[in-house]
Structure 1
Amino acid sequence: MSDKLSTCLYTLTQHDKAVSCVKFSYNGNLLASCSADKAVKLWDVPTGKLVHSFQGHNLGISDASWSRDSRYVATASDDKTVAVWDIHNSEQVAKWSGHKNSVFCVNFNPLCNLLASGSTDETIRVWDVRTGRTLKVIPAHSNVVTAVDFSKDGTLIVSSSYDGSCRFWDTASGMCLKTLVVDSHSATSHVRFSPNSRYILASTLDSKIRLWDFYSSRICKTYAGHVNRLHAIYSCFVVMDQSHSYVISGSEDGYIYVWDLQSRQIIQKLQGHMGTVICVSAHPREPLLASSALDADCSIKVWKLID
């Protein structure tokens, strides 16, 4: 990125409590946000205007996931349920129970016929989206499952946990194929596949983010400088072009950190939130970033990234 700092385009402040998650739709037109205030809100990306607010969970919401056609949003809630919302018809079309405790994370597979959810009950559930039936219950970890993500072809699920591990699961069988653990055994607060699914980006509560090679099970890069010791903070990839790729994360010091993917150098620190920046999301096509913050702030910001 250039010496010119990325700029905040607008700030959204209509949630009443901590904004736990923000996600751009795959077509890039909408931004979904969810909060401890039990609401799911949809925002028009070009203008920042509120499009719709969904209510239907009985407790706060921790995570959200878009379907690839940008029609549906799935949410994970402390009320132990997973819900699916139809954006076109502005309604809740499904609400599934089965987890024995708070649902912490959720993700659609690429075909959008399956959903994976992770819970503080230490399990992953794989749901049939059409019927709402639980296809698999995987006793995945020995602590909270903090994130689940499908590989590019949908054949693998990666999960992370406060037990300090990342695990890879065969989607069809539910079998564990591989476990990755850092030497420090620090709690793993978030994980996601790279766009080509060869790598995973794993955040840990020792204020480190590690890029793992799936095939060799080795750490390729480590990113540091931010503060992450208490919360499950999201990180993401931003690919501006073939020669400019970045890793971006929130931080407990109120900044958003931008690292060069290859050099691991901090390129920018974006300042604007008053509290812990819990979530970041990269726009699928434009150089835009969304961020959200916890209770001291409760805001969402959309940033224009300068390459």
Structure 2
Amino acid sequence: MAFPLPRPQGLQLPKHLLRTIDCHQGAVRAVRFNADGNYALTCGSDKSLKLWSVSRGTLLKTYTGHGYEVLEADSSYDNSQLCSCSSDKTVIYWDVATGQVTRKLRGHAGKVNCVQFNEEATVILSGSIDGTVRCWDTRSRRMEPIQILDEARDGISSLKVSEHELITGSVDGRVRRYDLRMGQLHVDFIGSPITCICFSRDGQCTLSSSLDSAVRLLDKSTGEMLGEYTGHVNKGYKLDCCLSDKDTHVLSCSEDGHVYYWDLVEGSLTLKLPVGKAVVQSLSFHPTEPRLLTSMEGCVQVWGAEPDDETADSAQ
């Protein structure tokens, strides 16, 4: 891996609370920025998916169609389509503008934990407790997946796709990287059930969190562990982790009501951000700016690098 260049002076992290949004959809299972970072998606235990304006904290649209709680969602590159997954074993492909269900995809044998578009939004990939990843063609009307990946020995908890590569995290404690172009599979054994997986922004590393309260940075090509980040609590919940917009810091949710920031290179704790008294279950870092979304119980918090008088005054 090529570590980031020395950080410029004045690098700032999102640590100022700009607003809190009461989502009115039960527990918020996941929060995600859309492709350009202007909007937020929230997945609720009340079976709804909601689209919010991040700058104003206002609700733009509610999408209903799942039969049970919504667990994750993703936005297409042009923000015209959404996909979501649920405990009802389905994946739904949505039209953003109309709020209508374009297709409801069935085939998983258990709840679907994670879902994502590929970069062209021509394929939806979904991972389930049934141990499979299913690939769905968004351009055809066929209801069957175009490919099923069933190498995992336990449920798929998280997946991410980048260009021709797919990585999955499983309860069997393994990170699997699929080279879809070459038809190759690479497996790294972590040893503890994995709750979240993602690529570094430069595409050279994978970051995974697991139920042993550790976040690990692995070299994508060799599987060598480049860093291990500890201090937070992750023992019983599916919690998110991610990298900052410039790959300088590792972030993780925690069951103690904080978000932890570590310096990627040094491994030292940079910031312990207090969010509340409950479990911080989900987070999402803005694609290009130092902005962060976090979710706790039924609310979403918007964080910025600097206090924003205009938005802070309108906190809900």
Query: What TM-score results when the alignment is normalised by the length of structure 1?
Result: 0.91
Query: Aligned pair 1:46/2:71, yes or no?
Result: no
* Residue of structure 2 aligned with 1:143, choices 141, 149, 154: 154
Aligned equivalents of 1:23 and 1:270: distance in 2? 19
Equivalent residue number for residue 264 of structure 2: 261
Q: 1:191 to 1:261 in 2, by over 3 A?
A: same
Aligned equivalents of 2:237 and 2:176: distance in 1? 20
* Residue of structure 2 aligned with 1:124, choices 129, 133, 150: 133
Equivalent residue number for residue 292 of structure 1: 295
Contact 1:80/1:99 (8 A) holds in 2? yes
The one-letter code sitting in structure 2 at the alignment partner of 1:305 is A
Aligned equivalents of 2:277 and 2:93: distance in 1? 31
Equivalent residue number for residue 32 of structure 2: 23
Query: Aligned pair 1:9/2:18, yes or no?
Result: yes
Aligned equivalents of 2:12 and 2:32: distance in 1? 27
The one-letter code sitting in structure 2 at the alignment partner of 1:180 is D
Q: 1:165 to 1:3 in 2, by over 3 A?
A: closer
Query: Aligned pair 1:272/2:272, yes or no?
Result: no
Query: Aligned pair 1:100/2:109, yes or no?
Result: yes
Specify the SS of the correspondent of 2:237.
Answer: coil
Equivalent residue number for residue 159 of structure 1: 168
Aligned equivalents of 2:138 and 2:151: distance in 1? 21
The one-letter code sitting in structure 2 at the alignment partner of 1:12 is I
Per-residue deviation, 1:270: 1.4
* Residue of structure 2 aligned with 1:180, choices 166, 182, 188: 188
Alignment of 1:169-208 (within 5 A): 169-171=178-180, 175=183, 177-182=185-190, 185-208=191-214
Contact 1:24/1:281 (8 A) holds in 2? yes
Per-residue deviation, 1:42: 0.7
Per-residue deviation, 1:2: 7.5
Equivalent residue number for residue 281 of structure 1: 284
Tell me how many residue pairs correspond in the alignment.
Answer: 296
Structure 1: runs of 5+ lacking an equivalent: none
Query: What TM-score results when the alignment is normalised by the length of structure 2?
Result: 0.89
The one-letter code sitting in structure 1 at the alignment partner of 2:302 is V
Aligned equivalents of 1:195 and 1:5: distance in 2? 18
Per-residue deviation, 1:158: 0.6
Per-residue deviation, 1:4: 9.4
Contact 1:163/1:187 (8 A) holds in 2? yes
Deviations for 1:245-287, whole angstroms, at most 9, x for unmatched residues? 2111110111111111111111111112331111110112221
Contact 1:208/1:224 (8 A) holds in 2? yes
Which one has the bigger strand percentage?
A: 1
The RMSD of aligned alpha carbons is 2.0
Aligned equivalents of 1:77 and 1:199: distance in 2? 29
Alignment of 1:34-113 (within 5 A): 34-113=43-122
Per-residue deviation, 1:48: 0.7
Deviations for 1:118-167, whole angstroms, at most 9, x for unmatched residues? 0011111011111254111111311110011112xx21111011100011
Q: 1:3 to 1:76 in 2, by over 3 A?
A: closer
Aligned equivalents of 1:194 and 1:15: distance in 2? 33
The one-letter code sitting in structure 2 at the alignment partner of 1:148 is L
Aligned equivalents of 1:258 and 1:128: distance in 2? 37
Q: 1:5 to 1:95 in 2, by over 3 A?
A: closer
* Residue of structure 2 aligned with 1:225, choices 209, 231, 236: 231
Deviations for 1:85-136, whole angstroms, at most 9, x for unmatched residues? 2112222212100101111101111111111110011111011111254111
The one-letter code sitting in structure 2 at the alignment partner of 1:304 is G
Aligned equivalents of 1:285 and 1:161: distance in 2? 29
Moved over 4 A (4+): 1-5
Structure 2: runs of 5+ lacking an equivalent: 1-9, 307-316
Q: 1:161 to 1:70 in 2, by over 3 A?
A: same
Contact 2:13/2:290 (8 A) holds in 1? no
| Identity of matched residues, % | 32
